[in-house]
Amino acid sequence: MRILLLGSSGLLGHDCKEVLGNAYEVIAPNREELDIINWDVVIEKMQKVSPDIVLNCAAFTDVDACEKEHFKVRKVNLEGPRNLAQGSARFNCKVVHISSDYVFDGKKSLPQPYFEDDSMEPLSAYGRSKYESEVAVKENAPDYIIVRSGWLYGIKGKDFIKSILNKTLGKKRKTLRVVADQYASPTWSYRLATQIKELIERDAKGTYHATAEGYCTPYELSQYVFKKLNLNISLEPIGLTDYKQLAKRPHNCILENRLLKKQGLNVMVDWKEDVDAFLDEFGKDLVKEARRGKK
Ligand SMILES: NC(=O)c1ccc[n+]([C@@H]2O[C@H](COP(=O)([O-])OP(=O)(O)OC[C@H]3O[C@@H](n4cnc5c(N)ncnc54)[C@H](OP(=O)(O)O)[C@@H]3O)[C@@H](O)[C@H]2O)c1
């Protein structure tokens, strides 16, 4: 099987390259080599590579910047996936596209989770662009998998775990204010990459939720991480609306992996199990990097 992977320099793409690259031929051009907003380049590459699968981990993911950069968010998050989907129709291959919990408004009463067929009512420009990307993929790709996930962390790129280490150890601070009224499932990008591999191997079709099992708040995750790493940081709980950010965020980001479970495809595990595994493997290095002030 030959896989054309976009976004391999990012958080999820990096792990997909590793997990899928161990089993299949993975061609992973960087943004300079293949900019997904450029139709001609997309088509030329697809013709040359003749992939069985196009896996799109590329996106404009800075949720606050999306509120201001309307042109860019439309190009990268909507027109890019549409190009890939139309290309897949032309070259007869499958598209695997990654979407987000931010397609929902998060107003469901807690702790009720969102299901794959719940109506999408995004609160932010980023969420709207991910919703539109889903529509573009569904309308244009004859064979597709859409994987909705959320709150990713991993060894590559920016994430919440590195951010709290940098804000404390990196700045020699002993206290941290953290949101305590937003609920989601911290999901390890490596686990999600394994789930994507399973979906591809089982020739799945349609839209799937794929997040870790269980849920917590950013406050609870921070507590868990600092305790696991034996770091003495005191936390102050704050509300989502106290934390000044440009984009509105949903309060309830809990997704149920209903279809994965129904079809016997679920490889996702409890969030604590994966945070433990991740920190056992990378925790010491992350602490060292944060202390050195490395982002
Ligand atoms: N991170 C999360 O918590 C989260 C949650 C839910 C869903 N998701 C979704 O998961 C997917 C992966 O997210 P991520 O966090 O791994 O993203 P990321 O770390 O920000 O990486 C984004 C990747 O996209 C590439 N890219 C951006 N614009 C491009 C373009 N025009 N053409 C080709 N490549 C381009 C970037 O390349 P450069 O390095 O060259 O810029 C980078 O490799 C996205 O669809 C995102 O919406 C993420």
Domain borders along the chain are: 2-158+187-212+256-268
Nearest CA owner, ligand 1 atom 32: 35
Q: Would you state the pLDDT for residue 226?
A: 98
Tell me which residue has tokens 């290095």: 285
Q: Would you state the pLDDT for residue 67?
A: 98
Provide the residue-wise pLDDT of the chain in tens; the chain has 295 residues.
999 999 999 999 999 999 999 999 999 999 999 999 999 999 999 999 999 999 999 999 999 999 999 999 999 999 999 999 999 999 999 999 999 999 999 999 999 999 999 999 999 999 999 999 999 999 999 999 999 999 999 999 999 999 999 999 999 999 999 999 999 999 999 999 999 999 999 999 999 999 999 999 999 999 999 999 999 999 999 999 898 899 999 999 999 999 999 999 999 999 999 999 999 999 999 999 999 985 5
Question: In whole angstroms, what is the distance from residue 55 CA to residue 26 CA?
Answer: 10
Substitution site in 152, 160, 187, 192 for ligand 1 pocket (most atoms within 8 Å of beta carbon)? 152
Nearest CA owner, ligand 1 atom 2: 152
Look up the CATH superfamily of 2-158+187-212+256-268: NAD(P)-binding Rossmann-like Domain (3.40.50.720)
Ligand 1 centroid to 247 CA: how many Å?
18
Question: In whole angstroms, what is the distance from residue 148 CA to residue 82 CA?
Answer: 17
User: What lines the ligand 1 site, CB under 6 Å?
Assistant: 6-7, 9-13, 30-31, 35-37, 57-61, 76, 80, 98, 100, 130, 149-152, 157
Q: Residue 243 catalytic?
A: no
* CA-based end-to-end distance of the chain: 36
Question: In whole angstroms, what is the distance from residue 227 CA to residue 49 CA?
Answer: 47
Q: Would you state the pLDDT for residue 90?
A: 97
Q: Would you state the pLDDT for residue 244?
A: 85
